[in-house]
Amino acid sequence: MIKNQRSAIGYLSFFAVSIAILGIGLVVYAFLFIEISESSETIKLFIGIGGGFISTISAFPINQIINRIERIRIYAYYASNIGSMTASDLKKAEELIAKSIDKIV
């Protein structure tokens, strides 16, 4: 389960960084294109599209990454302390894992 959460965090992070790099790249290309372009409409188009990609990051669900990091911490705690848990603690851990699996499915 920890591996699954880390994989999802990596995917979400890669997606966000890719969108940001694409947007920044388009804006930088537009400013470099000013030197050779005679049309300001093309430059405005590149800046608009690049800005759109960059603003998409503001709607990125960062709370999903934060929730997954918290789940990893909880799973790691239970995994490291499973030998010293009481029966009631084991039952709580099983319930937590069952809820997590239900959310995934």
pLDDT tens per residue, the chain (105 residues)? Answer: 778 888 888 988 898 899 999 999 988 888 887 777 767 788 888 889 898 888 888 887 888 888 888 888 888 887 888 888 788 888 888 887 788 777 765
| Domain ranges, residue 36 | 2-104
Total structural domains within the chain:
1
For CA atoms 81, 84, 89, 91, give the dihedral sign. positive
| Pair 40, 7: CB distance under 8 Å | no
Structure tokens at 35: 């030197």
